[in-house]
Amino acid sequence: MPSAEVLPDVPALLVTAPDAERLRLIHQAGEDELQEDCARWAKGVWETAALASCWREGWTRVERRDWTKVFSIYFFEELKHTQPVSNIFVATMLAKIDTKIDAVPARVVDELERRGMGASKLRLLPPEPMRFTGRGPQLAWLRLKLAPGRRALLYGEPGTGKSTIAEHAAWMFADSFENVVFQACGDRPVAVIADELLRRLGVDTSTLAPDAKAGAVRARLAGRSLLLILDDVWHEDSAQLLIGSPAAILLTSRRNGALETAAVDSQAVGGFTPEEAEAFLRESIDARFHSRMDDLLRFADEMERHPYAMAAFAGLLRKNQQPVADALASVRRRALRDGRFDLPALLDAAVAARSDQARVLLRAVAVCAKEGVWLEFAAAVAGMTADTAVEELVGVSLLRVNDREAQVFSLHALLHARLRETNSDSLRRRHAEVFSDWLSRWEEEWRRCVRVVGEAEEVLGYWDVVDYARSFGGTAGLVFSLGLRTGLLGAAHAAMVAAEMRYGRLGNRAGLAVSWGNQALIMRAWGKLDGAMELHKKEEALCEQLGDRAGLQRSWGNQALILQTWGKMDDGMALHKKEEAMCEELGDRAGLQSCWGNQAVILKAWGKLDEAMALHKIEEAVCEELGDRAGLGRSLTNQASIHHLRGEVEWRRTKLKHARNLFAAVGMAQELELVTRALAECVEFDPGQGDRYLSR
């Protein structure tokens, strides 16, 4: 074998690191050539056995030293000699080998400079992405930012494609810079990253102290027209690798502000846009799936068009030979895993790298509503003070900030789903217990409870599955009461629909009657009076079958309110009288005050203001006796309406101010808005509705 093959050119040796097999082959080639040389030379000039012994001894020493230094010696000695490789070996490897090896670095630099290699372009590029779609805004932004002396940061959640954009940018902007260096960082100390980069640059690191390696990188790169890309930065000590002008620096990280990059030089990387998602799928999958693009895009939306997940999805489709419909069903079940695109593993690794407190908080957030959770509630579920943990998680883009001022946070849908898969049942139970405990005090702490009402669906689902009837019914009633009082009608309605489904499944007719009646109140609040009356009639019929007199009086009272709205005052009054009689029979003081208040509204409509005011006064006294601030507020506003008709301005103003304070205290937002406007504009305000419902 020619010595040029045994001893490859030193620049190549310094840039490419042969593996152990390549090194063994070089050694074997040298030994074979040594034998050939010995056979050709005149006998007596060299002793074959001695040479073989020297070769083996020399190789033992080589194995203990850095290979780049050893082959650098081969290279330099070849420059000076035309002798066979055996002569070079004996002349160099066995003659003060340690001295020669230690002197190599300076000699290598000198020779590279002499050959003009010192100013050669550095092209440490990553593999070029096989497929790259969209990302026009990010690339346009990078084109503006990647200038000498500038830094740009792409940040975002795990798997959103930051590294792919950086890899594409390395190739896209390579012609704009004399040198391009792409270096992956990850969860490693800067000394380890610097050592890897120095080796890629052809620098021997065996004699460098760990704390000197980052400085060696800066010295090696300084002064060059350079695009330096540090991908997936985790730790602040990576800042030791940064250099100044004329270099441009691109960083990618899960953390916004990584390495103290100014916010103006940062851009978030999220999921694909709908247009990018469709383009990616059309480029990445077989044309036979294009006819089902709507189905594919719906699934992409479920994954928030997450690039990493979509790459796995497309990869599985490419491999699937089943009919289209079967392939789609099969791939949906395995969509987050395809070779290196194993999203669950990526997410698990991202979570595992966090502190103990941060991991506990993440799992607590994952049992809460996917749309977002109030930090105080998540911390209560986690059983911890979460301030430090939340900043850690936001910093690495594992926790999204929905509303910083309101302290509402959420998880990416895929991370939320992954953590829920691995969360314990005890954590779900803890979530349900904390929610139900908070709601049990909703009348005193309604401001706090309205911030977590979005957790109701998950909690009711849990109580339903574990079949704790009392917990389910109690919580559903509390959600309904809170929602109806504070105007969160959607949450109240959803709770009653869930109750109807459960009670229907279990054959609980009493529970069904309550759920129908409460749904009817919500329908009436939405202005759907026909639907509300139909539900009240079903409620009434079932209460009669069950002999539920309390349920009957509630149904009659609420039907009467609909009749009033329809202008059927006589029919309404007749039902209120039936309701009144039943309440007296049952000793239902709360029902009586509501019934009297609604009768007074009808009397006012008939022009019987004195009779109406007398009933409202009785209603007012009972509300004060029962501590019913909501009922008292309604009574006072109805009294104010009568004062308005009488022209009694000051009395009207006094009653409305008192009512305004009551509505504010109990969270009746709609009534508060109306009474505030009535005070400002001096217009009549008549709530006229004494809703009757059961909170259980």
CA–CA separation, 685 and 213 (whole Å): 78
Highest mean pLDDT among 110-124, 400-414, 576-590: 576-590
Bridge partner residues of 184 (DSSP): 231
Is the pLDDT higher at 575 or at 282?
Answer: 575
* Amino acid at site 516: W
CA–CA separation, 357 and 359 (whole Å): 5
Give residue 17's pLDDT. Answer: 39
Bridge partner residues of 229 (DSSP): 182, 250
pTM of the model: 0.62
Pairing of strands 400-403, 151-155: unpaired
The count of other CB atoms within 10 Å of the CB of residue 586 is 14
Highest mean pLDDT among 90-99, 238-247, 593-602: 593-602
Give residue 33's pLDDT. Answer: 55
Q: What is the DSSP letter of 405?
A: T
Give residue 146's pLDDT. Answer: 86
Domain range list for the chain? 3-114, 123-268, 274-345, 354-423
The answer to whether residue 182 scores a pLDDT higher than 70 is: yes
The answer to whether residue 86 scores a pLDDT higher than 50 is: no
Give residue 365's pLDDT. Answer: 92
* Of the listed ranges 498-512, 591-605, 665-679, the one predicted with least confidence: 665-679
Give residue 300's pLDDT. Answer: 79
569-600: per-residue pLDDT in tens?
A: 999 999 999 999 999 999 999 999 999 999 99
Buried b (16+ CB within 10 A) or exposed e, 123-146: ebebeebeebbbbeebeebbeebb
What stretch of H or E contains 186? strand 179-186
Report CA 384 to chain centroid distance, whole Å.
Answer: 21
Give residue 124's pLDDT. Answer: 84
User: Which tokens hold the place of 284?
Assistant: 């990445």
- Give, to the nearest 10 degrees, the angle between helix 293-302 and helix 307-319: 140
CA neighbours closer than 13 Å in the CB half-sphere of residue 99: 4
* Of the listed ranges 150-164, 177-191, 655-669, 680-694, the one predicted with least confidence: 680-694
Can you tell me which residue has the tokens 């930090």? 375
Q: What is the CA radius of gyration of the chain?
A: 39
What is 354-423's CATH topology? Arc Repressor Mutant, subunit A (1.10.10)
Can you tell me which residue has the tokens 């501590």? 627
The answer to whether residue 11 scores a pLDDT higher than 60 is: no
CA–CA separation, 509 and 499 (whole Å): 11
The answer to whether residue 16 scores a pLDDT higher than 50 is: no
CA–CA separation, 73 and 88 (whole Å): 10
206-224: per-residue pLDDT in tens?
A: 888 988 899 888 888 887 8
- Range 44-71 average pLDDT: 47
* Residue 290: band (very low, low, confident or very high) from pLDDT cuts 50, 70, 90: confident
The count of other CB atoms within 10 Å of the CB of residue 458 is 18
Give residue 680's pLDDT. Answer: 81
421 close to 394: Cβ distance less than 8 angstroms: no
Q: Give me the percent of the chain exceeding a pLDDT of 70.
A: 77
H helix runs in 487-627, sequence order: 489-506, 509-525, 529-546, 549-565, 569-586, 589-605, 609-626
CA–CA separation, 440 and 433 (whole Å): 11
How much is the mean pLDDT over the chain? Answer: 79
* Residue 110: band (very low, low, confident or very high) from pLDDT cuts 50, 70, 90: very low
- Range 368-380 average pLDDT: 91
* Amino acid at site 397: S
Q: How far is CA 348 from CA 96, 171, 268, in A?
A: 53, 31, 22
* Of the listed ranges 49-53, 108-112, 276-280, 545-549, the one predicted with least confidence: 108-112
* Of the listed ranges 113-122, 275-284, 288-297, 521-530, the one predicted with least confidence: 113-122
Bridge partner residues of 250 (DSSP): 152, 229
CATH number assigned to the domain covering 123-268: 3.40.50.300
